[in-house]
Structure 1
Amino acid sequence: MTTPTSPATSPSPEAAASLVERAAALAGPGRSENVVIGRTAAWIWGLDVLPSGARPETCDVDLFVPGPAPPAGDLRPARVPAEHITERSGVRVTTLDRTALDCARWLPRLEAVAALDQFLRRGVRLDALKAMARTLPDYRDSKRLRAALRAADPRAESPGESWTRTLIIDAGLPRPTPQIPVMGPLGEPFYIDLGYEPYLVGIEYDGERHHAGRRARSRDEARRRWLKKEMEWDVIPVTKDLLTRPAPYLEALLTALLHRGWNPTGRDMDRIATNLTRLHRRRPNPTRRRPHH
């Protein structure tokens, strides 16, 4: 069971304001050509897509400055049309839709999908993003962007849920349905983070913030025991280890689906086996920045 998206450690109001103030100094009055973009623009719009472990008071301001096209590999866009620019909190900033598109285009895969899920919950529409992408040369042919748009889902309620869904999709397993309601013992529904209702198989991301501690763990275990005994659901819990060692969790999900009657083609199984083997061989890099938990 998930909770609404929130940073791992809530910044102080002063720290949160500092990023906006620095952005205003670079793209506010008197800086009429500069535009705040990317993660910083998302922050100004009220979404937290800052890098793992980052604090807003120490983050660089993502800024577009008109001039020559950026070199290959640079994450700054080549241009920002006037219709993609607005003002918010005294800062020239990309519109909500353009900010969503930039995050989906440039952020690492798991972060891009989790950010996009947040934007969709704010009312951004996928069809509008696809239409905008077709007007931008660096976006219209981006396989990375198209993959992020396909994986996005506004029903996700936490970054951990978004990461889990994305890893499942990338492994070649069936796309799970988010937030499946199952009637609880007191007549109130439980919501399973991700699942396959025809097979009564679910998977849930237990983030440290809301699932740590003896009481929280006891509550989660009792809930899942009830779902298994009374409703015949097999719910697989996952933790932050999924981000560095996803294969064991994905193998457990595959086993549960096969046991409950999922019947993939031989070609599907070959693709899944190849992906799982690749994940087993991948060595986690402890220095690599990961999303918030």
Structure 2
Amino acid sequence: MTDNVYSHHAAAALWRIPLLGAWPMKVDVVGQRESGGRSSEQIRRRAGAHDMEVCTIDDLRVTSPAQTAADLARILPRIEAVAAIDSACWRGRSGPRASVEHVRAIIDRNAEDRGGQRATDAVTFATDLAESVWETASRVVIEELGFPRPVLQQSFRWSASSTYRVDFWWPEQGIIGEFDGLVKYAPAAGVDPRDTLIREKVREDRLRSMASGFVRWTASDVRDAERFVRLLSAAGLPRTPPRHAYANAIRA
């Protein structure tokens, strides 16, 4: 009986973990380091640690959510690695999820393995508060461009019955940031699109009145470093020399 299990991108697909970047054409399978077998046009075989965590989904053997995130963090570019961990750990996940601490423990157990430093860097920056891969991408690029690290999912109370949560908040500058994925404007059954737009306009107006600055951006802004810098700077965010090289090749 083979000890191979679905892993990496294949495991992420089975666990319904959203990822940033292109999905490969081959299915990832991982086995113990001693296992034989070769990759093919459809299968990419990878070596696995002897203590890798394995679960079962519909009779399929698959790496656990935490193991999947740790494995992906070893092979993906930094921005995509952080997104993989964030997605696996997000508090709002409807299915099984990992914790940042669990992913870090798996990475630390095999820190000397290939990609260990890359994974360690990614999990150090990871969080369970990012609601989408593009919120993660925004957060990583914000840091890489030299802007201060924001508070995530900050709540603002307008009245006894109205509280609004924002994606990003810079308390020292009093600035609110929102990634606009446009999903909030998508038509919903039984809901007049005009009502949706009005509610969002009221929400933004109220938030603007409680902050010194307010800035929105989209995925295309995150992809364009110069445009993103202009948006954040115009909102009043200070910028210092970047601590990381800008990940200017977001592949999705």
Among candidates 182, 195, 216, match of residue 237 of structure 1: 216
Instruction: Say which SS state the counterpart of residue 194 (structure 1) adopts.
Output: strand
CA deviations 1:162-206 (Å, max 9, x no partner) are 111111112222111111101135632101111112322011111
Aligned-partner residue type, residue 63 of structure 1 = V
TM-score, normalization by structure 1: 0.67
Structure with bigger helix share is 1
Among candidates 55, 58, 64, match of residue 30 of structure 2: 64
Among candidates 89, 98, 104, match of residue 73 of structure 2: 104
Task: Give the unaligned 5+ runs of structure 2.
Answer: 91-95, 188-192
Instruction: Please say if 1:150 is aligned against 2:121.
Output: no
Whether the 8 Å CA contact 1:44–1:89 is kept in 2: the answer is no
1:152-231 correspondence runs (5 A): 152-185=126-159, 187-211=161-185, 215=194, 216-229=196-209, 231=210
TM-score, normalization by structure 2: 0.76
Among candidates 11, 15, 19, match of residue 49 of structure 1: 19
1:267-278 correspondence runs (5 A): 269=240, 271-272=241-242
1:278-293 correspondence runs (5 A): 289-290=251-252
CA distance in 1 between partners of 2:64 and 2:217 (Å): 35
Per-residue deviation at 1:82? 4.9
Aligned-partner residue type, residue 116 of structure 1 = I
Instruction: Say which SS state the counterpart of residue 131 (structure 2) adopts.
Output: coil
Alignment coverage as a number of residue pairs:
234
Aligned-partner residue type, residue 88 of structure 1 = I
Whether the 8 Å CA contact 1:104–1:145 is kept in 2: the answer is yes
Aligned-partner residue type, residue 239 of structure 1 = T
Task: Give the unaligned 5+ runs of structure 1.
Answer: 1-29, 263-267
Aligned-partner residue type, residue 91 of structure 1 = L
1:68-87 correspondence runs (5 A): 77-87=46-56
CA distance in 2 between partners of 1:62 and 1:257 (Å): 45
Instruction: Say which SS state the counterpart of residue 101 (structure 1) adopts.
Output: helix
Aligned-partner residue type, residue 136 of structure 2 = S
Classify 1:48/1:59 alpha carbon distance in 2 versus 1 (closer, same or farther; 3 Å). farther
CA deviations 1:132-176 (Å, max 9, x no partner) are 223326547633212211221111112221111111112222111
Structure with bigger strand share is 2
CA deviations 1:79-118 (Å, max 9, x no partner) are 2325522322211211222111012222333332222112
Instruction: Say which SS state the counterpart of residue 3 (structure 2) adopts.
Output: coil
CA distance in 2 between partners of 1:273 and 1:35 (Å): 38
User: Which is further off, 112-121 or 213-222?
Assistant: 213-222
Aligned position for 2:82: 113
CA distance in 1 between partners of 2:37 and 2:4 (Å): 14
Instruction: Please say if 1:247 is aligned against 2:217.
Output: no
